[in-house]
Structure 1
Amino acid sequence: MSVVSYRKSCHLLNHDDVIGTRRVSYILYMPLPHYLGWQKEWGGALELYPVKPGPDGVPEPEPVPAKTIPPCWNQFVFFEVQPGKSFHSVEEVVVGEGEDGRQRLSISGWFHSIQPGEEGYVPEDTHEFKSSREQLTSTQTEFKSYPDTVEPPLPDDPLSEAHLSFLSEFLNPVYLQPRTMKALAQRFVEESSLELHSFLCTPLADKLQLGLMEKDQRDGLGPDRVTRIPPYSSGGMARRREDGGVSALGQGSPDEAVRSLQDELFSSAAFRAWLAVSVDDPMGTAAGEEPERGWQNGEWGGWECYMAPNEEEDDPAVYRSGAPKKKLDMNVSANGHSKNHVDDEDMQEDSDEEDEEDGTLLTVQPGFNRLLLVLRDEGVMRFVKYVSAAAEGSRWDVCGEFEIGMVQEEESDS
């Protein structure tokens, strides 16, 4: 049992509460001040989600909750904990304490099942579905193989003229320079991750930025939206191209340009060859200076997190559910030289130690036109944090996974 105070920007990610022997979750609400009455537009509602079968048959929550329960003084809520079914979240609180001390205060906990040796114990059947916590440690990606007729590229193989010509339509030319690729490969071997700023070439990046901002504005997700918390019906995925496709720099819409990154760039043999050279032994960064606000400083949420698997009672859904902490970033500039900088002079000195204690391996703030490459070991949990109501637009991204393997080189006869 615990007492939890949700203040401005606090939230809870969607999860099913399945850890150990939990069987019933309960919450007693005591929002302050009790005489004022908590308003729905302040956020902080408990959201309960229906489920649907995923691509592999594993249940996953629908994007829109079936029921929302705003906190109310002396209200008691409970529900059964079921793997892959009892999905719920807490909506972001969008108001500060102000003069009247507003905060979403609650007492919450779980009732557990009877254990072996206790009176009334009955062995339970194995759960049919994985919990949300277990699902974070696996991948649901359906990998598509490259043609068997094409030999896999090796780190020492230079990019062909055809590959360079194709990639130059998409990538910042600095990332096609041999010196840069060599520096990135060395960094990836050391850190197992790369964060590449200004990854796409300027014409393509400018086109995407303008087009996606306009799309957000049309969908009611821009900085001038009326409601503080966007409705669930807002926005939508990029539309799929019609057969024939378009060039990323052609006259197609921003939706088509986004789709071209997924269907043409990242799945191409040329990008596969670039990866082989640039990450060598399958975090540094390559960056220009950017203003530290919004996405970059964590104010708008939406950052990506990788956590080590563990058998403790920790739930990734509650990891940093409040305001994010600052951290020390290691950067590699576009010419391959390294530099260190601290995001904030008031950074807590023990933040890195706390990350190690809670199993955090990597956290990365999103930023426009950045490529994140991470070597993810089996069992490592990956998730994206809640996008705050303070965000002035959507967190657009193109995601994918590559399987890696060892290449055995034949020994030459001497």
Structure 2
Amino acid sequence: MAPSTANIRAPPTKEDRTDVKRMKKASSEVSDFIKSKFYPGLFDQENRDSIRKYVASSKPYPHCKIDKLVNDDLLRRVQKEIFTHLNFTTKETDIYKVNQTGDLANMDGLGEEERQKLASLFELRNAIYSKEFREFVSEVTGCGPLSPSKMDMSVNTYTAGCHLLNHDDVIGTRRVSFILYMPGDPDEHWDPAFGGALELYPTIEPDTPAPEPSVSVPPQWNSFAMFTVLPGYSFHSVEEVVVENKPRLSIQGWFHFPQEGEFGYKKDAEKIKGYSTQKQVEEPKDDGKDFVNYTNELDDTALLGLSEEDLKELATWINPVYLNAKYMKQITDKFVDDSAVQMKEFLKEELYAKIKAATYNADKKDNFLKPEMPPHGSGVRGDWYVQGPPVYQRFLTLTEDVKSDEETSVLFKDLRDKFQSESFRRWLAVLSQLSPRGYRGDARRFRPGHDYTLAKINLRGQPILDVTLSMATTPDVDAAEKWESCEYGGYECYMAAPEGGEDPATYRQTADEDAALLTLGAGANELSIVMKDEGVLRFVKYVSARAPGSRWDVAYEYDLPNDKEESA
């Protein structure tokens, strides 16, 4: 187990000690003008010492929450200006959904009339980036000097369904991340059941966060959370907001390392050991599973049709219509033309009825049928366990050796075995006119309010055949319509890889119509077959806590011969 990042700092240098003395001296020199922008007593040395001691011992990495930061009258005026004069743009990718303004650093370029409309916001922005407050942040976090010129902040509002998944905030010269909260009505307490908490994750080892957070910081009016940005350690997320008509408003931003020519500048100081979570997703790790090779190769005759033995075995679980040679030919033609095909009512009716009842009952026991944020750890039953790390993915999957008699474990273990069988391999070969030579995959459960996969790129240098049987909990027509709308997550998205040179913070803009190649809503008893070309990204969107239940599926990738092997 990696140590807390509160204990991994290098010993302070002589220069660092000089910086701390200078900042402590500055604490007694805060002007009345700056003090008036903040909550009374914030800059008192006793308060500074208290916060600094908390940060130094905090886990899983250096952080703190200040209950009252800003002059309350100023903050109320800021909130009113934001809702009256600012426009929000909804942004959604694999990692987040949020309503956001532009960078507040650009306020300097506004005309006088616009500046007057946002006078209080401009006042607050300047106070947060003032010399006095920067030195306050430097002192209590122990992070060292901060840039006086580089600003990076925006106004965010999380409405129902908005969320931000696990990441470490490491981009460029970011040094301290902060959030100033203005949720709901200033005179009302924000119930933690509304969602929207900042969640901090411990690390199993550097660059690998634990599956679940160890600290949760609910938003409250005028509270201020901040933490040191540490590559490979400062993993965090923002819990989904589940309450309707109560926006979680905040100002979020970063303090940066000093830039060249500024006090405290050190060349490449931001290049701490480790690397950005964004970089990890650009160059994604595999899920740890190699392809399992079949023991024999398929010859050309395997593409022509199924044997009686194969048909007999497949008929025990597949809808007979998908074993009909004439109908299979029609599906093949569509797949050859589109490189993708979906098949509804794929499992035999009696088998699907068992699975539908079992998954519904499991979701009911785990309280996943209500639009509420479930606690972490929910749904871990039988042989299901949490698959991570959450910087790439989080969902439940089955152990290799299923031993329990828990119903969903048994049923999905059986489906997993069927997807690995030779008869199913030959069925895929006939349908796709391709020759699978290996497989990898598993049964999965994506729990509402918890689970997802982030965009992962095919880097094998050749296409992969994706085959997924989706069995989202769908007790009625309303639930089916919710899954189909994709507004509640759980959908699969295939998208074109980003062009080189894009900012890693923005490369996942899946809202770009040219980037999204295919979107498949979470279905009930639907099989999809997709040819995933080299360089194509794929992810399962975070399942909202407001979804009708879990997205259950069996998802496999099948390795294919490359062009040279096929022509040899």
TM over 0.5: yes
- The one-letter amino acid of 1:183's match is Q
Which of 207, 221, 224 is 1:76 aligned to?
Answer: 224
Which of 408, 411, 429 is 1:257 aligned to?
Answer: 411
Query: Does structure 1 residue 297 correspond to structure 2 residue 485?
Result: yes
- The one-letter amino acid of 1:303's match is Y
Unaligned runs of 5+ in 2: 1-152, 384-397, 435-462, 471-475
Alpha-carbon deviations, 1:78-100, whole Å to 9, x = none?
23334443322211112222xxx
Contact 1:83 1:127 (C-alpha < 8 Å) held by counterparts = yes
Task: From the superposition, tell whether residues 244 and 395 of structure 1 become closer, same or farther in structure 2 (CA, over 3 Å).
Answer: closer
Give distance in 1, aligned partners of 2:363 and 2:469.
28
Stretch deviating more after TM superposition (180-189 or 199-208): 180-189
Query: Does structure 1 residue 189 correspond to structure 2 residue 336?
Result: yes
Query: Does structure 1 residue 387 correspond to structure 2 residue 543?
Result: yes
> Cα distance, 1:252 vs. partner?
8.4
> Cα distance, 1:208 vs. partner?
0.3
Matches within 5 A, 1:146-161: 146-151=293-298, 156-161=303-308
Unaligned runs of 5+ in 1: 321-353
2:213 matched residue in structure 1: 65
> Cα distance, 1:242 vs. partner?
10
Contact 1:196 1:286 (C-alpha < 8 Å) held by counterparts = no
Query: Does structure 1 residue 165 correspond to structure 2 residue 302?
Result: no
Decide which structure has the larger Cα Rg and report it.
Answer: 2
Give distance in 2, aligned partners of 1:136 and 1:153.
38
Matches within 5 A, 1:58-137: 59-97=207-245, 102-113=246-257, 120-122=266-268, 128=274, 131=277, 134-135=280-281
2:533 matched residue in structure 1: 377
TM-score (norm 2): 0.55
1:10 matched residue in structure 2: 162
| SS of 1:382 mapped into structure 2 | strand
Give distance in 2, aligned partners of 1:116 and 1:174.
69
Q: How many residues get paired?
A: 359
1:229 matched residue in structure 2: 373
Task: From the superposition, tell whether residues 390 and 125 of structure 1 become closer, same or farther in structure 2 (CA, over 3 Å).
Answer: closer
- The one-letter amino acid of 1:195's match is Q
Give distance in 2, aligned partners of 1:203 and 1:38.
47
1:313 matched residue in structure 2: 503
Give distance in 2, aligned partners of 1:22 and 1:187.
49
Alpha-carbon deviations, 1:47-87, whole Å to 9, x = none?
1122335xxxx844333211111112222222333444332
Larger helix percent: 2
Contact 1:306 1:360 (C-alpha < 8 Å) held by counterparts = yes
Contact 1:136 1:382 (C-alpha < 8 Å) held by counterparts = no
Alpha-carbon deviations, 1:187-214, whole Å to 9, x = none?
3333333332212111111100001111
> Cα distance, 1:404 vs. partner?
1.7
Give distance in 2, aligned partners of 1:188 and 1:150.
23
Contact 1:4 1:106 (C-alpha < 8 Å) held by counterparts = yes
| SS of 2:546 mapped into structure 1 | coil
Give distance in 2, aligned partners of 1:203 and 1:219.
25
Greater relative contact order (CA < 8 Å, ≥ 6 in sequence): 1
Across the aligned residues of Structure 1 and Structure 2, the Cα RMSD in angstroms comes to 3.7
- The one-letter amino acid of 1:312's match is E
Query: Does structure 1 residue 279 correspond to structure 2 residue 432?
Result: yes
Contact 2:469 2:528 (C-alpha < 8 Å) held by counterparts = no
Give distance in 2, aligned partners of 1:89 and 1:241.
27
Task: From the superposition, tell whether residues 410 and 104 of structure 1 become closer, same or farther in structure 2 (CA, over 3 Å).
Answer: closer
Stretch deviating more after TM superposition (273-282 or 311-320): 311-320
